[in-house]
Amino acid sequence: MTKIHFRPYTPNQTLLFPQRIDENIAENDPVRIINAVVDSLNLDCFKKLYKETGRCAYHPKMMLKVIIYAYMNNIYSCRRIEKLLLRDIHFIWLAGYEKPDFITINRFRNRVKDEIGNVFTQLVLILAEKGFVSLDVEYIDGTKIESKANKYTFVWRKTVEKNRARLMGKIRALLEQVDEAIAQDKSAESPAVEFTPAQLTEIVDELKHSLAQAPEAKDKEGKKALREKKKQVKDLEARRDKLAEYDKHLETLGERNSYSKTDPDATFMRMKEDAMNNGQTKPGYNLQIGTENQFITDFGLFHNPTDTLTLIPFYESFRSRFGRLPSAGVADSGYGSEENYRFMEENGMEAFVKYNFFHKEQRPRYKPDPFHQDSFHYNEAEDYYVCPMGQHLTRIGIRRSTTASGYVTESARYRAQRCTGCPLRGSCYKSKSDRRTIEVNHRLNAYKRQARERLLSEEGIRHRGRRCIEPEAVFGQMKYDMAY
CA distance 289 to 74: 20
- One-letter amino acid at 259 equals Y
Residue 421 binned pLDDT confidence (cut-offs 50, 70, 90):
confident
Question: Is the pLDDT score of 396 beyond 80?
Answer: yes
Name the burial class of residue 352, with classes exposed (0-12), middle (13-18) and buried (19+) by CB atoms within 10 angstroms of its CB: buried
* Residue 281 and residue 269 in contact, taking contact as beta carbons nearer than 8 Å: yes
Please give the Cα distance from 329 to 232 (Å, whole number). 63
What is the pLDDT confidence band of residue 180, given thresholds at 50, 70 and 90? low
pLDDT of amino acid 113? 87
Note the pLDDT tens digit of each residue in 446-469: 999 999 999 999 999 999 999 989
Mean pLDDT, rounded, for 246-253 = 94
Q: Reply yes or no on whether the pLDDT at 277 is more than 70.
A: no
What's the rounded mean pLDDT across residues 89-112?
92
Across 12-21, 342-351, 439-448, least confident range: 12-21
Rounded mean pLDDT, 215-236: 82
Q: How confident is the model at residue 124 (pLDDT cuts 50, 70, 90)?
A: very high
Mean pLDDT within 409-432: 89
Would you state the pLDDT for residue 274?
67
Q: Is the pLDDT of residue 472 over 70?
A: yes
Q: Average the pLDDT over each of 152-166, 271-285, 307-321 and give the range with the smallest value.
A: 271-285
pLDDT of 120 reads: 93
Distance CA 171, CA 405 (A): 35
What local confidence, expressed as pLDDT, does residue 148 receive? 85
- For the chain, the average pLDDT equals 88
Predicted confidence band at 313 (pLDDT cuts at 50, 70, 90)? very high
Give residue-wise pLDDT tens across range 206-221: 888 887 777 777 788 8
Does pLDDT of 189 surpass 70? no
Which range of 47-56, 83-92, 231-240, 420-429 scores highest in mean pLDDT? It is: 83-92
Task: Tell me what pLDDT residue 49 has.
Answer: 87
For residue 139, pLDDT over 90 is answered with: yes
Give the pLDDT of residue 202. 87
Confidence of residue 275 (pLDDT cuts 50, 70, 90): low
pLDDT at 295: 94
Rounded to two decimals, the pTM is 0.82
pLDDT at 184 exceeding the cut of 70:
no
The yes-or-no verdict on residue 19 having pLDDT over 80 is: no
Q: How far apart are CA 71 and CA 482, in angstroms?
A: 9
- pLDDT tens string 31-40: 999 999 999 9
